[in-house]
Structure formats: C-alpha cells, structure tokens
Amino acid sequence: MGLLDTISSPRDLQRLPTDRLDDLAGEIREFLVDSVSRTGGHLGPNLGVVELTIALHRVFDSPRESIVFDTGHQSYVHKLLTGRHDFSKLKKQGGLSGYPSRAESEHDVVESSHASSSLSWAEGIAKGRVIAGERQRHTVAVIGDGALTGGMAWEALNNIAVERDLPLVIVVNDNERSYAPTIGGLADHLAALRTTRSYERMLDWGKHALQGTPVVGELVYDTMHGVKKGIKDIVAPQQGMFEDLGIKYLGPVDGHDEPALEQALRRARAYGGPCIVHVITQKGRGYQPALDDTADHMHGIGKINPETGLPFEVSGRIWTDEFNDELVRLGAERPDLVAITAAMMIPVGLDGFAAAYPERVIDVGIAEQHAVTMASGLAYAGMHPVVAIYATFLNRAFDQMLMDAALHKAGVTFVLDRAGITGSDGPSHNGMWDMSICSIVPGLRLAAPRDGEQVKALLREAVDVDDAPTVVRFPKGDVADPIEAMRTDGTLDVLHDAEAPEVLVVGVGAMCPTALQVAEKLEAQGHSAMVVDPRWVLPVSPDLVRLAGTVRHVVVIEDNLVTSGIGAAVSHALQEARVAARLHTFGVPKVFPDHASRGQVLEAVGLTPDVVGTELIARLTTAE
C-alpha cells in the first residue's frame, strides 16, 4: 500500500511524519500523470500545486476552515487529499467533476470555476464567520497570478484591505502562467518580487543575525531555480503593491519546499488579519513533457501516452480551426482588424492571427469586461475589434456589451467559442446562455453557423458591420460536415424542402443536423416538412416570419436556454406579425446540467433527434 492509499482525509495527512511528505508528493504526481493521461483533464496546473495543497491541508482544518480555489481546475490534489481517489471517470458522467463540487465533498466550497472570484467568496465567508462570533475559523483563498489580472479580484482586495482583523489568508500561486504566460503590469510586479529577494537580502539577514539583532524571518532554499531567497520579515514595514493596500505580505516562498510552505502558512494564520502568501510554483512540475510544453497543451489534455505526453489519436479539425484560419485571411485584407483575447490566445484560436499580425492582437489577461469596453474604444478609433472568448465567459461582460458596445453602436464582433452544450467541463462551462442574453441587446446581430464553411462566411459578414455589435457563435469539438443548402429563400438557407410543407423546422447553428433528422422522422409519419437555417438568428428574419405564415407548425431547435432563446424571439416575432402557426420550441431547460459528454448532456435535456422527433410527432398527432 502506498502512502496516498492511507490518506482519506486531511486528518490522515496531518498525522503523516514530515519526512514522508516528499514521498507522498511523488506518489501524487505519479497518480496524476497515470490517471489524467487515461481520462483527459487539467494536468499541468495540478502537478504544480502538489506541495502547496499538502501544506494547506496540514495547516488549515478543512472543512471547518474553508479553502477556496480560484479557477478550480487546480483542485485535483485537493480531491485526493480529501479521500477522492477514483479518477477513472474524471469529467465523465457519474465520475468526479473536473472542478470542486459541493455534491462530491464537504471540503469543496466554490464550483463555478470562473476565474478571479475566490477573493470575494473568501472575504464573504470570513466576514460571515466573524459576525457569527467564529473568529478562530480561518478562510483561505488560493488564486493564481493569471486570475489576479481579473478586475473582480482587485475589487475584493480593495475591500479586504480595510478588514484589519479578518481571519483570511490569500495564497498567490505564481507560476507565471494562466493558459499561457501571464501578461500585464501585475505580472511584471510579481516578477520583480520574485527577483528582489536575493543575495542582498540574505547578506542583510546575516549581518543582523551576527550582530544579535532579533530577526523574524527565515532563509528558504529555492530548489526550483537553484538560488537562495529570504522571506520578508512579517512584522517590519514593507514596500510593495500589496502592503501599500494595507495587506500583509509574506514571500516569495518556494512552492515545492513543503516545510517552508507550512512555516509561511502558519505565520500567515497567526498574523491576526488578512495576509498574502506569495508562492512560486512550476506548472507541470515533475513531468518532463509538461515542462517542455511552451504552448500549454498540457494545461488541459485529452487522452495521452504518459511516456511521451503525445495524444494517442490525432484529433480532427475543430470549429475553432475554421475561425483561426479565416481570421488570418481577413487580417491580410483588413488592416483595421484587431483581435482581443482574455488570456486564452490558443484556446480561442487567435494564435494564427497573433503570429501573422502581432501588432494587432491584444491579450488583456482574465478581464473580459475590460476587453469589451476597450474594444468599443478601438471601434471609435476606427478599428474593427474581434473579441474571441468562450461563450460562458460572455456572461461576465454583458453590461459592457450592452452599455458600451451596443449603446454606442460600436462595430465590435464577438466570436463565442464553446457555445451551447460543452459537456465534460461541467455546469459552469456550458455556453447555454449567450443567445438569451444577446437577445435583449438593441441592435445586436447574432449568427450561428451550422458548419465550418458557414463559420468562415458568417465571420466575413460580421466584420463588415460597423454600426452595431455582431456575434458569431459555434460549439466545442470536431467541426460538423458541410451541409449544402438546396437553395436560398431570401436570407434563409433551405436545407430540406417538400411540396406544400406542413411543418417548418428551424435549425439553429450546430443543431441543423438534428433538425434534418427530425424532418426525416416527421416525413416517415406522414408529415411534410421544410428545414431552414436562418444563419443570422438575431434579430429574427422577416423571411422566416413570412415562411411561417405558410405552414401549420413551426419548430425551433437550439442548444441554448429554451425559455428565452431563439425560440422565444421567434415566438415574439410571430405574435407581432399575427402568424397563426403553432410554435414548438426545443432547447436546454432552465437547469445546470451535470458534467458528461456533449452527447450525454444533449440526451439528458431531450435534444437528440429521437427525443425531439418523438415529442413533436406526439404534439402534431394531438393537434390533429
């Protein structure tokens, strides 16, 4: 039995002799490489926080004392140390979530997995316990240097700074990366803090020690970089950004020296007020393929060969590739195009544009709100910005889309990757709200391409709009096979036609193949059907309203929230035009779907051709 097998709770870890902790860390890294290479998941971030997570659970009493992970993909080690050793179905239906999950464990606190929120959560928890008279219960926030680029983190720091006696410890996990190298002034400041604790500090420490001057502090050997560093004196006045805010700072501390981590965390715990512990870690620690990975492919992986770090199968062409290539082509034609990313250059497909036109790509860090308002300013200055983000992260920038972009009629194109049901990343990562929130934005136009060819065509149409925001959204995964239109009817692509159709089936984007299969089922039961792809689904096309007036039933199929999505917009348009056709809408119910594959989630919410077809035929039969 290995050491890891003996750890079912933090109490077991706390009883483990100190001289066995390095062995435990080694076992954990072996487990992570072996397990995650079989299932896929976030490997690099978790290899980097092994010693840090061990120290956290030896110093703090979870779950009585809460540990909040910012961007919870770094919580795999935490799961192991709290008794969750079965990673065989990680991120799969019925298995462990890839993020903290309250349904899994009392040790998990925040499961949203969106960045920069941990400090607000932690301050709220700590403040609530102080109000309740539980001042001895500490709260810990673990936030990466990448997440500190988000404005919400600084809003929280601004408030934490005035809470002089709040039992709150903030661990800055500084590995110089989020998905990719962290950029901006904060990154530069942290880099300065890393390098200034050097031999000069050590010599000063030694001089005072020889003279008998009391010194609070210690020397830490940084095994990662092979240099010695001194931890800042925790009682003397300090310089630096964090202390200027009034928050005590400790560090930098070698994030792979477990005894040093414990010592720093215990001092932070004993301080009596908010304290930042700056920890230097190495993403991918202990696994050479991850350390050699300059493009951060090891941040989140599919199934790989653990010996080489290479995928077992070469994945096909994905939706993002179509956008990536076409934007590069557009960049050559349009010198006014500027691409903006929120710390996800490669995942959203801007790496090609960045390589070709580095002066026209901007990485703002994890700051979607800033990205959108800055894009509005760029549009005012005569540029056409393309803001590429995951659909789920548009939620964070809705106010800026509404009041900065749309109100000012800014020609900004939003490209939403991972739209609709994403599946394995869990409820917080499904892009099932984007069309709902976009539907209430005046002047906004939204396109949902059905295949890769339409991604390219609709992107070109979107960037030609200079007097309103435009949105192009597409799903995660392999791109759909091209679906040729039989003909066009005004603005609509007709994908399937019938003489005197009884039913008009509207496929929204990636749901067009489902719409075609539903039409087949309808016709097998004697119901003639036409299938159309509106391409631009917001605002609702007058051509769609006109066609709806020629049929008895209109069906809208979308992978968005059904209660306020495209179906709802079509319903309103039909009512205004006094169209008598009966509307049937199929989409995602108002729930947070559990993690599973995309197909399994679609089946669970009733968006497969069989389920939609069966339900629709039952409705049509009842109507007759």
In a domain, 240, yes or no: yes
Regarding whether 507 and 365 lie in a shared domain, the answer is: no
Q: Minimal CA–CA distance to 471: which of 411, 420, 408?
A: 411
* Amino acid (1-letter code) at residue 22: D
| Cβ–Cβ < 8 Å for 492, 541 | yes
| Cβ–Cβ < 8 Å for 477, 315 | no
Regarding whether 246 and 351 lie in a shared domain, the answer is: no
What predicted TM-score, i.e. pTM, was given to this entire model?
Answer: 0.86
- The domain that holds 530 is classified in CATH as 3.40.50.920
The pLDDT of residue 287? 86
In a domain, 192, yes or no: yes
Regarding whether 569 and 524 lie in a shared domain, the answer is: yes
In a domain, 583, yes or no: yes
- The region, left, alpha or beta by phi > 0 then psi within -120 to 50, assigned to residue 578 is left
**Residues tagged in the binding site annotation:** 73, 113-115, 145-147, 175, 287, 368
Regarding whether 116 and 78 lie in a shared domain, the answer is: yes
The three-point CA angle 93-393-289 to 5° equals 65
Q: Minimal CA–CA distance to 608: which of 618, 622, 598?
A: 598
> Which residues are the active-site residues?
283, 368, 396
Regarding whether 59 and 112 lie in a shared domain, the answer is: yes
Strands 168-174 and 275-280: parallel
**Residues tagged in the binding site annotation for thiamine diphosphate:** 73, 113-115, 146-147, 175, 287, 368
- The domain that holds 364 is classified in CATH as 3.40.50.970
Residue 544: in which H helix or E strand, if any? Answer: helix 542-548
Domain final position from 450, 473, 496: 473
Low-confidence ranges of the chain (pLDDT < 70): 112-113, 177-241, 294-297, 313-315, 624
Regarding whether 607 and 555 lie in a shared domain, the answer is: yes
The pLDDT of residue 316? 81
Task: Determine the Cα–Cα distance for residues 536 and 543; give it in Å rounded to an integer.
Answer: 11
The pLDDT of residue 417? 97
Specify the number of domains making up the chain.
Answer: 3
Print the domain residue range for 206: 4-291
The pLDDT of residue 238? 38
In a domain, 298, yes or no: no
